[in-house]
Amino acid sequence: MRLPTFRGGVHPPERKELSQDSHLSVLPLPERVYVFLANHAGIPAKPIVNIGDKVKTGQLIAESGGFISANLHSPLTGEVKEIAKYFHPTLSKPDDAIVIERSGDDEWELLQPAKSYDQFEPEEIVQRIKSAGIVGLGGAMFPTSVKLSPPKEKKIDLLVINGAECEPYLTIDYRYMLERSEGLVRGILAIMRALKVKDAII
Is the same domain home to 146 and 79? no
In a domain, 52, yes or no: yes
Give dist(CA 91, CA 160) in Å, integer.
29
In a domain, 18, yes or no: no
In a domain, 16, yes or no: no
Give dist(CA 57, CA 49) in Å, integer.
14
Give dist(CA 60, CA 131) in Å, integer.
9
Give pLDDT, residue 1: 64
Is the same domain home to 77 and 121? no
In a domain, 192, yes or no: yes
In a domain, 12, yes or no: no
Domain boundary among 102, 131, 156: 102
Geometric angle at alpha carbon 102, from 127 and 135, rounded to 5°: 25
The 3-state DSSP class for residue 89 equals: coil
Is the same domain home to 125 and 95? no
In a domain, 108, yes or no: no
Domain boundary among 46, 78, 102: 102
Give pLDDT, residue 44: 96
In a domain, 15, yes or no: no
> Domain limits at 133?
117-201
110 pLDDT band, cuts 50/70/90, is confident
Is the same domain home to 146 and 174? yes
Q: What is the pTM of this model?
A: 0.88
Domain boundary among 102, 133, 153: 102
Number of domains in the chain: 2
- Give me the torsion for CA of 83, 89, 90, 95, rounded to 10°: 20
173 pLDDT band, cuts 50/70/90, is very high
| Mean of all residue pLDDT scores within the chain | 93
Is the same domain home to 85 and 156? no
- Is a pLDDT exceeding 90 seen at residue 180? yes
pLDDT digits (tens, 9 = 90+) for 160-170: 999 988 889 99
**Neighbour-count burial for 47-63, b at 16+ CB within 10 Å, e otherwise:** bebeeebebbbbbbbbe
Q: CATH number of the domain at 57, please.
A: 2.40.50.100
How buried is 70 (Cβ within 10 angstroms: 0-12 exposed, 13-18 middle, 19+ buried)? Answer: buried
pLDDT digits (tens, 9 = 90+) for 46-104: 999 999 999 999 999 999 999 899 999 999 999 999 999 999 998 889 999 999 999 98
Is the same domain home to 72 and 126? no
Is the same domain home to 122 and 98? no
Is the same domain home to 191 and 124? yes
Is the same domain home to 79 and 142? no
